[in-house]
Amino acid sequence: MDPGDVRKAFEESGKNGLDVIGFYHSHPDHEVYWSNEDHKAAMWAGTDEPSFPDAINVVISVGADGMKGMAAFVWSAEEHGFIKTDLIES
């Protein structure tokens, strides 16, 4: 999804009293990890600042047998990078 479209979706959701709290994507036939490509996509173009620093980023590993794993990553200002965090089911 184009970053401008994502920003517009955030703005529109706010106008309607909704909160977008994160994003998800899959790594087909690969393990769950925060890749260089994930990092690049989560940053403002040409900068080292995240587009949505408060968003939760969920990565799902999928294979022929279905979901193999899942992890969440959040921006850490202290680490100046994305770090793995716990997911809690409710």
Contact yes or no for 61/70 (Cβ under 8 A): yes
Residue 90, domain member (yes or no): no
Residue 56, domain member (yes or no): yes
Instruction: Give the tens place of pLDDT for each residue, 2-48.
Output: 767 877 887 888 898 888 789 999 999 999 999 999 999 999 888 99
Contacts of 74 (CB under 8 A, 6+ apart): 55, 56, 57, 82, 83, 85
Instruction: Give the tens place of pLDDT for each residue, 56-72.
Output: 999 999 999 999 999 99
pTM, entire model: 0.81
Q: What CATH number does residue 14 fall under?
A: 3.40.140.10
Number of domains in the chain: 1
Q: Which amino acid is it at 8?
A: K
